Amino acid sequence: MTWGNPESLGEKALVKFLWPARVGMGTASFARMVAYNMGVLKQAQFRADVISIGNITVGGTGKTPVTIDLAQRLIADGRKVAVLSRGYKRLSKEKIVVVSNGKMLMATSTESGDEPYMIASAVPQATVIVGAKRIETAQLAIDRFGCDTIILDDGFQHFAIARNQDVILIDYNDELENDHLLPAGRLREPLSGLARANWIVITKLPAEVDQERMRRLQSVAMRYAPGAQISACRMVADVLKPFAYSDVTLGAATVRNTRVFAFCAIARPESFLDQLRGIGANVMGYKWFPDHHWYTHQDIETIAREYKSVGAEMVITTQKDAVKLLPAMVKDLPLAVLHQKLEWTGPIPVVSAIATHRTQLV
């Protein structure tokens, strides 16, 4: 069963049992949106362009790589960019953490959270700030760091800040119309919420696209968000970097026919496995951990035992996982980190209106 897409009679019965919770989730989401639309709850407006990157489902649609790619494009266009995140599952209790000031890293991954730290490392010219109240972090980005463009990471359901663009990501592998609201499924809100989107991006395209599946996904997007532009992208393996020698870069083809053991703590680990196999790696075994998992020495000892037991020559993990590992923890592992890059199909969601538009708010 794919979470939210029940197949057996038992799974369908469970969805029915959770019907009251689904109704409550949908009602609460709708009521909150209406309150903002009617002005009962006010949206903060800033003297900066605001782009939200989010999704209508929980986890694993590719928000972090898309955020990195769009931030890089905006900076190349001369923008002073801030990325705002909640810092989900970070270990620090600080109200606000400045991860990067656009010049240097100012926090560790444990203080900031794995994804904000990854963004700050990948886009060193971006200001990256973590905090639960994004109105406060947005004001900080503008007042202290002079940012003129704000990216709300995972901001689609965050109505408190007005935005110029809502970019919504849909995983190519999802069956949205067969999905259900939390907790029975993966939907954060009803599909009608897609109507708020300015741009819908179908992510995680495989090397060979099933055109019928693409037509179904595009049909759903056009039905619920007829005014939105639609594009697509895929993550492709770029290079490998030995963990102990991050200044060394190897071509992804280095692992072709190599016996590897994989581990990661991401929302949908199957995509990582598919990517390794796609570049020719002989995956002998793998170990998955819950999304945003913080590794312990015991975890690494388990990985070391398992990679040896299956006769692997190399251990590979993701960039998101690598930022949570200390050199002393993995010094005995032949560990490499797979770096990816984004490839776009169709237009890219940083249009000239955002690249040149200056908001006229006081």
The string of pLDDT tens digits covering residues 25-73 is 445 555 555 544 556 568 899 999 999 999 999 888 999 999 999 999 9
Mean pLDDT of 84-95: 94
Contacts of 172 (CB under 8 A, 6+ apart): 202, 203, 204, 205, 206, 209, 213, 214, 217, 232
CATH 3.40.50 corresponds to the domain 49-234+344-356: yes
The pLDDT value recorded for residue 158 is 86
- Decide: 318 and 272 in contact? Cβ < 8 Å: yes
- Decide: 188 and 4 in contact? Cβ < 8 Å: no
Q: List, for residues 102-148, the tens digit of each pLDDT value.
A: 999 999 999 999 999 999 999 999 999 999 999 999 999 999 999 99
The pLDDT value recorded for residue 318 is 98
The pLDDT value recorded for residue 358 is 43
Band of pLDDT at residue 161, cut at 50, 70 and 90: very high
- Decide: 182 and 188 in contact? Cβ < 8 Å: yes
User: 236-340: same fold as 49-234+344-356?
Assistant: yes
Q: List, for residues 205-255, the tens digit of each pLDDT value.
A: 999 999 999 999 999 999 999 999 999 999 999 999 999 988 899 999 899
The pLDDT value recorded for residue 246 is 80
Mean pLDDT of 314-332: 96
Give the pTM.
Answer: 0.88
Mean of the per-residue pLDDT values of the chain: 88
Mean pLDDT of 285-311: 97
Band of pLDDT at residue 182, cut at 50, 70 and 90: confident
CATH assignment of 236-340, among 3.40.50, 3.40.1130, 1.20.120, 1.20.1440: 3.40.50
**Closest residue by Cα to residue 323 from 57, 95, 87:** 87
| Burial class for 136, CB neighbours closer than 10 Å (0-12, 13-18, 19+) | middle
Distance CA 245, CA 19 (A): 52
The pLDDT value recorded for residue 33 is 52
Least confident of 62-66, 322-326, 352-356: 352-356
- Decide: 179 and 4 in contact? Cβ < 8 Å: yes
Mean pLDDT of 282-303: 97
Band of pLDDT at residue 180, cut at 50, 70 and 90: confident
The pLDDT value recorded for residue 357 is 44
Band of pLDDT at residue 3, cut at 50, 70 and 90: very low
The pLDDT value recorded for residue 195 is 95
The pLDDT value recorded for residue 62 is 94
Comparison of pLDDT for 182 and 139, the residue scoring more:
139
Band of pLDDT at residue 288, cut at 50, 70 and 90: very high
- CA 69 to chain centroid: 11
The pLDDT value recorded for residue 276 is 96
Comparison of pLDDT for 113 and 7, the residue scoring more:
113
| Domain locations in the chain as residue ranges | 49-234+344-356, 236-340
Do strands 96-101 and 127-131 pair parallel, antiparallel, or not at all (unpaired)? antiparallel
Least confident of 126-130, 153-157, 312-316: 153-157
Distance CA 38, CA 34 (A): 6
The pLDDT value recorded for residue 8 is 54
